[in-house]
Amino acid sequence: PLKAVIFDLDGVIADTAVVHHAAWKKLADDIDVPFDDATGERMKGVDRRGSLEILLQAAPRSYTEVEKQELAARKNDYYREQIEHFGPQDLLPGAREAIESVRRAGLKVALASASRNAGLLLQRLGIADLFDVVVDANRISRSKPDPEIFLAAASALGVAPDECIGVEDAAAGIASIRAAGMAAVGIGQARALAEADLVLPSIAAFDIGTLTTIRTTNWR
């Protein structure tokens, strides 16, 4: 039976996928490295350092470790400048309702975010108390698409992976959920999330009633 739903944060609950994208674009412009939407899409769900490595694949020269640390810190400064001003209005439409509906259905709720800013964002958005468990990049060692973060969330909730649904907007995140042995709900465009068991256009379309009545094995 379904016992828990594990949500990604950026691009699923909070309207921050665009903010990460804009911060990487600003950094790319600073250092004259090309940056297109496809590169931005590949960075989704990937941790800060992993995202930088993806950006620098298109760089004409190599960067030292010290330079890379400075670049990652600068991107984070650009990002933080924007989320400093965040509040409940920056929740994606329907996000709070989706989480509350899961709780009302008697299921557990966890957050699995690759972002080191996840704790700050939850506070700003005013939803920190809606989660039974929060796992962020500070608590794991392998980034999505590795299953570690979703497995850690299930384990902290005390449920088995096959009793969980994971909700993600990133291809790397869907891969992580599937590798963890969970059912995967994609949020966004079906084309970018082909590995998901079910794709919804936005979190506003999330309906826990439908998810609990459909056997996950019948989705594909």
Q: Quick check: 116 binds ligand G6P (CB under 6 A)?
A: yes
The reply, when asked if residue 115 is annotated as ligand binding, is yes
Instruction: Give, in order, the Cα–Cα distances in Å from 42 to each of 20, 45, 137, 170.
Output: 12, 8, 18, 8
The reply, when asked if residue 218 is annotated as ligand binding, is no
The DSSP output letter for 14 is: B
Q: Quick check: 136 binds Mg ion (CB under 5 A)?
A: no
Known catalytic membership, residue 77: no
Cis check for the bond before 93: say yes or no (omega within 30 of 0): no
Using the rule CB under 6 A, which residue among 4, 27, 47, 109 binds ligand G6P?
47
Using the rule CB under 6 A, which residue among 22, 54, 74, 76 binds ligand G6P?
76
Name the residue type at position 28.
A
Known catalytic membership, residue 37: no
178 binds, among ligand G6P, Mg ion, none (CB under 5 to 8 A by kind): none
Provide the strand spans (E) within 128-170. 133-135, 164-168
Q: Reduce the DSSP state of residue 2 to 3 states and report it.
A: coil
> Which residues fall within 8 angstroms of residue 67, CB to CB, at 6 or more apart?
none
Stretch that binds ligand G6P, among 56-64, 86-94, 115-123, 155-163 (CB under 6 A): 115-123
Q: For residue 112, what are the β-bridge partners?
A: 135
Q: Annotate each residue in 180-219 with x if it binds ligand G6P (CB under 6 A) or - if it does not, as one string.
A: ----------------------------------------
Structure tokens at 147: 């299953």
Using the rule CB under 5 A, which residue among 7, 8, 16, 42 binds Mg ion?
8
Please report how close the Cβ of residue 114 comes to ligand G6P at its closest, in angstroms: 3
Q: Reduce the DSSP state of residue 73 to 3 states and report it.
A: helix
The reply, when asked if residue 3 is annotated as ligand binding, is no
